[in-house]
Amino acid sequence: MIVVTGSAGFIGSALVWELNRRQIDDVLIVDELGSDQRWKNLVNLRYRDILHKDHFISALERGTLDYTVDGILHMGACSSTTETNLDFLLENNYRYTLRLARWCLEHEKRFVYASSAATYGDGSLGFDDDHPSLPRFKPLNGYGFSKYLFDVCALQHDWLNKIAGLKFFNVFGPNEYHKQDMRSVVVKAFEQIQATGKVRLFKSHRPDFEHGGQSRDFVYVKDVVDMTLFLYDNPQANGIFNIGTGKARSFHDLVAAVFAALDQPEPNIEYIDMPENIREKYQYFTQAQMAKLRLSYDKPRHTLEQAVADYVQNYLMTPDPYLNP
């Protein structure tokens, strides 16, 4: 049985979707559903059982779990970059990951976990996924710090030759709808265009970036799950890996792709001031260094325009926008 933690969330549910597409239904859903709408991500999917994350870790460590675990895809975490309760983030993101990793290592089970590009901080030290660089990075928020701590812990304990950690860049696509303010600019732009015919983007407050020229390594969730499952299926591929495209694109490009997907070739963009409380922590550029993953994985990824068109036309514009095997 494959365990997917955070499996009602964005990337977790997309992983279950792709497993189902590969005719794998022997999946254990592990999550904390709470009171938001993430449960809807599970409606179209197939799996054996669903457990609360606290029940799961307790039964796993006691040896009372009713299922035989073959490996764990650990996507579960609080991913809010505005969360300020560090005690919660350390327990939920760092220590929970630590417990799962130790169990998998002790029982010789495959462990693939979600790190984050947020560990790189402002990007001034680059975006290289080589291991010696890990302790040098300076995350800008508590979420990034909680992910950084496990990366460094795994390095110090020499676990990175036995497990795989994934630094996701700016992932977008179906099943992100429950994330509210943390949803991608694609879905927000789609909603703004439907409502007002235009999209609002932050102005640049740096002279070296034009308005809308702030750039990210935007990566489609379908490509993310393919890369993730490749690493799960190839236990000889271990260590920290960037999960992106290797090519930064501007927010203007992203929004223009949304307009084009809606058959509106001329983007209508209004630039607004960035709130002062986030200006000092705002990343103007991210771009994954992909050389390490490309040594073993060389499948082409969606272009930005292809990915946005698929997302908008085959999901956002349909009655059922959720991933369905």
Q: What is the DSSP string of 128-159?
A: ---GGGGGG---SSHHHHHHHHHHHHHHHTT-
Higher pLDDT, 281 or 227: 227
Q: What is the pLDDT of residues 299-309, one digit of tens each?
A: 999 999 999 99
pLDDT exceeds cutoff 90 at 140: no
Q: Is 123 domain-assigned? A: yes
What 3-state class would DSSP assign to 189?
Answer: helix
Query: What does the pLDDT read at residue 82?
Result: 81
Query: What does the pLDDT read at residue 260?
Result: 98
pLDDT exceeds cutoff 90 at 323: yes
pLDDT exceeds cutoff 90 at 277: no
Supply the angle between the helices 251-261 and 185-196 in degrees, to the nearest 10: 50
| Percentage, residues of the chain above pLDDT 70 | 100
Average pLDDT over residues 73-88: 91
pTM comes to: 0.96
Nearest residue to 110 via CA among 69, 153, 82? 69
Q: What is the pLDDT of residues 159-177, one digit of tens each?
A: 999 999 999 999 999 999 9
Residue 183 — very low, low, confident or very high, per pLDDT cuts 50/70/90?
very high
Query: What does the pLDDT read at residue 37?
Result: 94
pLDDT exceeds cutoff 90 at 292: yes
Nearest residue to 245 via CA among 297, 295, 302? 302
Q: Is 227 domain-assigned? A: yes
Query: How far is it, in rounded angstroms, from Cα 238 to Cα 217?
Result: 23
Residue 320 CB coordination number (10 Å):
11
- Give the catalytic positions in this structure: 143, 179
Query: What does the pLDDT read at residue 283?
Result: 84
Query: How far is it, in rounded angstroms, from Cα 50 to Cα 32?
Result: 10
Residue 243 — very low, low, confident or very high, per pLDDT cuts 50/70/90?
very high
Q: Kindly state the helix (H) or strand (E) to which residue 56 belongs, with its residue range.
A: helix 53-62
Number of domains in the chain: 1
* HEC assignment per residue over 241-274: EEECCCCCEEHHHHHHHHHHHCCCCCCCEEEECC
Query: What does the pLDDT read at residue 79?
Result: 85
Query: What does the pLDDT read at residue 81?
Result: 81
Does the CA dihedral 261-168-119-178 come out positive or negative?
Answer: positive
C-alpha neighbours within 13 Å on the C-beta side of residue 44: 19
What 3-state class would DSSP assign to 195?
Answer: helix
Q: Is 264 domain-assigned? A: no
**Tokens linked to 313:** 């036309």
Q: Is 47 domain-assigned? A: yes
Q: Is 195 domain-assigned? A: no
| Percentage, residues of the chain above pLDDT 90 | 91
**Tokens linked to 260:** 């084009």
Q: Is 307 domain-assigned? A: no
Nearest residue to 137 via CA among 240, 228, 11? 240
- CATH number reported for the structural domain that contains residue 236 in this entry: 3.40.50.720
Residue 189 CB coordination number (10 Å):
27
Query: How far is it, in rounded angstroms, from Cα 100 to Cα 281?
Result: 31
Place of tokens 């130790």: 102
- Angle made by CA atoms 181, 325, 42, in degrees to the nearest 5: 45
Average pLDDT over residues 267-274: 96
Query: How far is it, in rounded angstroms, from Cα 118 to Cα 54?
Result: 26
Residue 38, domain extent: 2-173+218-246+286-301
Q: Is 212 domain-assigned? A: no
Average pLDDT, the chain: 96
Query: What does the pLDDT read at residue 279?
Result: 85
Query: What does the pLDDT read at residue 122?
Result: 85
Does the CA dihedral 275-277-279-283 come out positive or negative?
Answer: negative
Q: Is 27 domain-assigned? A: yes
What 3-state class would DSSP assign to 94?
Answer: helix
Q: What is the pLDDT of residues 12-60, one digit of tens each?
A: 999 999 999 999 999 999 999 988 999 999 999 999 999 999 999 999 9
The amino acid that residue 246 corresponds to is: G
Q: What is the pLDDT of residues 194-240, one digit of tens each?
A: 999 999 999 999 999 999 999 999 999 999 999 999 999 999 999 99
Query: What does the pLDDT read at residue 80?
Result: 83
